[in-house]
Copies of this chain bind each other. A is one copy, B any other.
Amino acid sequence: MGARPDTPRLLHVGLVQMRCSPDPAQNLDRALALTREAARQGAEVICLPELFLSPYFCQTEDYAAFRLAEPVPGPTTAAFETLAAELDVAVIVSLFERRAAGLYHNTAAVIDGPRGYVGKYRKMHIPDDPRYYEKFYFTPGDLGFKAFRTDRASLGVLVCWDQWYPEAARLTALQGADVLFYPTAIGWHPEERASHGRQQHEAWELAQRAHAVANGCFVVAVNRTGFEPTPGTDPDAGEGIQFWGQSFVAAPDGQVIARAPVDEEATLVVRLDLNQMEELRTGWPFLRDRRIDAYDRLTQRFLDAD
């Protein structure tokens, strides 16, 4: 393996795994309080879960849910700007963005301490599956893949369904990202948990660990936790999503170095030595050998034989 430089290049990341209540004001207060708590534990970059201001409204297609959206930057980023400046931390804030009438995105804002709001990433890959009706709500992102340079590190920002796409991880890492952050809202359909639950969670985790390996960088996934019933169903029927928590950090060798529990809120603060990337990327020089002359057909949907 490659050699690690003698002086560590430390970054402390904070993962806020939250339960999200029906009350946005309460969720905002809680997110601000947990951000403060993570900073108190030494976190320098703090990531919140996907769309933490509300229950995961995409379980149904409901026009009323569009009222939850707000501009980005807007009132919520303003609240985090104040806090981030006070604490001198960077924060990744996942929001339901209203861009114009009838035009909405699933967006992550990046706030960098005293610099304030520095930009946003709009979720590029939008899922649409039973209880995850995101294509109804979110226009696919049009800002491309993005890494945000801060004084402490270069922060790659992606969102949830993006985590299944090696292309997204690669294009973000190629911009120099030290860490790929994935605010997430993923869980089990309770009726599938016994038959598929372990495999689904394992696939989710290993897909992201593989991004760390392929790109020689860190990966931070921040999920919500708790059970959220499907609106309009009999509460006793148990229909809904059991968010699986288990927010985690993977090192550039793919090892999981921290993992939150399934069913509890958690604020993890994890110490990273970014110089581990130097060691891994010289030991496993995958970036050196990419066949960029032979990748052009990745822009095709499928390579049909006829």
Instruction: Find chain B residues with CB under 8 A from A287 CB.
Output: 301-302
Cβ of A292 and Cβ of B286 under 8 Å apart? no
Q: Please report the total number of A residues contacting B with Cβ < 8 Å.
A: 59
Partner of A254, one of B199, B255, B302: B199
Interface 0/1 of A248-266, CB less than 8 Å to B: 0000011100000000000
A196, B283: Cα distance in complex, Å? 11
A291 close to chain B: CB less than 8 A? yes
Partner of A300, one of B174, B209, B301: B174
Interface 0/1 of A209-239, CB less than 8 Å to B: 1110110000000000000000000000000
Partner of A164, one of B140, B253, B255, B286: B286
A71 close to chain B: CB less than 8 A? no
> This chain: how many copies in the complex?
2
Cβ of A206 and Cβ of B254 under 8 Å apart? yes
A212, B166: Cα distance in complex, Å? 12
A133, B287: Cα distance in complex, Å? 17
A145, B296: Cα distance in complex, Å? 12
Cβ < 8 Å to B, chain A residues 124-149: 124-127, 129, 140, 144-145, 149
A1 close to chain B: CB less than 8 A? yes
Question: In the complex, how many angstroms separate the beta carbon of A209 from the nearest chain B beta carbon?
Answer: 5
Q: Give the one of A165, A166, A200 with max B CB within 10 A.
A: A166
Question: In the complex, how many angstroms separate the beta carbon of A21 from the nearest chain B beta carbon?
Answer: 29
A192 close to chain B: CB less than 8 A? yes
A303 close to chain B: CB less than 8 A? yes
A194 close to chain B: CB less than 8 A? no
A62 close to chain B: CB less than 8 A? no
Known contacts A167-B298, A206-B206, A296-B299; is-contact A291 B214 (Cβ 8 Å):
no
Q: Give the one of A165, A289, A292, A293 with max B CB within 10 A.
A: A289
Q: Give the one of A125, A254, A291, A299 with max B CB within 10 A.
A: A291
CB nearest to A288 among chain B residues? B128
Question: In the complex, how many angstroms separate the beta carbon of A122 from the nearest chain B beta carbon?
Answer: 11
A66 close to chain B: CB less than 8 A? no
Known contacts A206-B206, A206-B209, A207-B213; is-contact A175 B289 (Cβ 8 Å):
no
A6 close to chain B: CB less than 8 A? no
Cβ of A166 and Cβ of B174 under 8 Å apart? no
3 closest A-B pairs by CB:
A210-B210, A166-B166, A203-B254
With A165-B214, A174-B297, A295-B298 given, can you name 12 additional A-B contacts, CB distance below 8 Å? A125-B290, A164-B284, A167-B170, A167-B291, A175-B305, A176-B303, A199-B254, A206-B209, A207-B210, A207-B213, A287-B301, A296-B299
Interface, chain A (partner B; CB < 8 A): 1, 124-127, 129, 140, 144-145, 149, 161, 164-168, 170-171, 174-176, 192, 196, 199-200, 202-203, 206-207, 209-211, 213-214, 253-255, 283-287, 289-305
